[in-house]
Structures are given as C-alpha cells and as structure tokens.
Amino acid sequence: MKVLLIDDHPLILSALQSVIQSLGDHVTVATADSGRVARDILRNDLSHDLVLLDLQLGDADGFDVLADLRSRYPALPVVVVSASDRTSDVIRAIDMGAMGFVPKRASNDTLLEALQQVINGCVYVPPMSMGADFKPTLHHSSPLRQIQQEASASDFQTVPSLRQLGLTARQADVLNLLLKGQPNKLIARELGLSVETVKDHVAAVLRALGVSSRTQAVIAVSQMLQKQMGQPAWQMR
C-alpha cells in the first residue's frame, strides 16, 4: 500500500510517517510539504492508495487541495489530519468527499483505527466533534435512535441491520455508495439506475436514518462504527 502524507510541518510529517509505517512492511510512504509538491507526486505516480492531508498548508488552503484531489482522483481516499476538530470543519471535509477526519491531538491508536476503517471502505469521523452544534434530527421512533441509545449505555456500538433500518436491498446499495462519497450521477451509473431513481432512494435512506442531508447520513452511520472494526459500513444485509 502506498500512502502520501501532505503537511508543511517537518516534525508532523516525520511522526505521521512513523505511525503509518507501523501498519506493516507492505506500506510505503511518500511525503509532500505543500499542495504543489503533492500535485507533482500524484501526477507522476498514480499508484497511491491513500492520502493524509493537513488543512493548514503554507502554499494553499487545505480545503482547496481536497477539492482538487477529489476532482482529479475521485477514487483516491483522502483522510484529513488537522489541528482543528471543529464540527464545521469535520462536516465540510466529509461533505467535500474526505473519507475521514482525524484531529492531530488524537492518539496513534486512534489514527491507526481511522485509517483501518477507511481502508475497509468506511468513513471515519471523530466522535468528540459531534457536539451540541450538530445533532442529526432523528425521529423518536427511529430504530437508529434506539441503537444509538443502547450503544451509548454500553462499551460497544452496533451497526444497524437492514431489518432495523427498514431499507430495501437497493437502498442499501445506494447507502453503500453514499458512504464512499459518490455523487448521484456516479451512483446511477454504477447501479444502472436513472438519476431521478437514485434521488428517490437517497431520500428514503435519509428518512430511515432520520437525517436531512447526505453528510449527516454519513456521519450518523460512521459514528456507529467508531468501535467496530473489520466490517465495512455497507455490509449491513
């Protein structure tokens, strides 16, 4: 696996490199201290499997770099590693297509857990960022609310099943691709559906989760996966 680290602080780059290399001998790490260097590296080598991106770069805004990466390399997972853990930054990053958001103050174990979830196809968001300023509008009767309450009262969290959420198999396929950050057009192409049909399925998924946006849906499901490893979020059948 090839990982690209983008951060303009040498000590952070060195620390991240050490953590990433602890994943195993099969991991190779490249580093870039600017958005320009990162673009050059990716332009010359399209074999990278994962990017870790800082939001504060000397030559560019990290969100602009994220937008550029998602536009040029839509299949390349990007995990934001930032000194910020503001809810607004987490939501914005996920909304722009990041597969994860890890605050720099997180432990090495948390970073490794986040990367493992992203490698498995999940989206990772830090639970400490979902405070009073962001609460999914779950209905009182929603199965997800019951599951979250049970998870909060226990030492583990459980991924909801299709039966509990009431999703059809096709809606589960749509949720799978939503969690990968795919827009409606790509979902329609991959599933052989019209864009209008995909919109209907997305609306049904949002209703089932009791949320009002795609980003909230991703975060709501991701929050339930923080302590569960090894099962991609879409394997809910």
Tell me, what's the pLDDT at 224?
57
* DSSP symbol at 129: G
- Residue 164: the pLDDT is 66
Residue 231 has pLDDT above 70, yes or no: no
Q: Where are the alpha helices (DSSP H) in 79-226?
A: 87-95, 108-119, 143-152, 162-165, 169-179, 184-191, 195-209, 214-223
Token pair, residue 113, equals 């857990």
Per the listing, tokens 């979020």 go with 233
Q: What is the 3-state secondary structure (H, E, C) of 40-102?
A: HHHHHCCCCCEEEECCECCCCEHHHHHHHHHHHCCCCCEEEEECCCCHHHHHHHHHCCCCEEE
Average the pLDDT over 82-100 and give the result: 87
Please compute the mean of the pLDDT values over residues 83-111 and round it to a whole number. 88
Asked if 80 contacts 50 with a C-beta cutoff of 8 angstroms, the reply is no
Mean of pLDDT values over 96-112: 89
**Structural domains in the chain plus CATH codes:** 2-129 (3.40.50.2300), 143-223 (1.10.10.10)
pLDDT at res. 116: 85
Average pLDDT, whole number, for the chain? 78
128-175 residue pLDDT tens: 444 444 444 333 344 444 434 443 443 333 444 445 677 888 988 898
- C-alpha 141 chain-centroid distance: 27
According to DSSP, residue 128 is labeled G
pLDDT score at 176: 83
Structure tokens at 231: 């099962």
Question: Which tens digits make up the pLDDT trace of 212-225?
Answer: 788 777 777 776 55
User: Binning pLDDT at 50, 70 and 90, where does residue 29 land?
Assistant: very high
Find the helix or strand (DSSP H, E) in which 11 lies: helix 10-21
CA 7 – CA 54 distance, rounded (Å): 5
**% residues pLDDT > 70 (the chain):** 77
CA distance 178 to 172: 10
Residue 37 confidence class, pLDDT cut points 50, 70, 90: very high
Burial class, 107, CB count within 10 angstroms (exposed 0-12 / middle 13-18 / buried 19+): exposed
Q: Are strands 78-82 and 50-53 parallel, antiparallel or unpaired?
A: parallel
What values do phi and psi take at 57, rounded to 5?
A: -115, 150
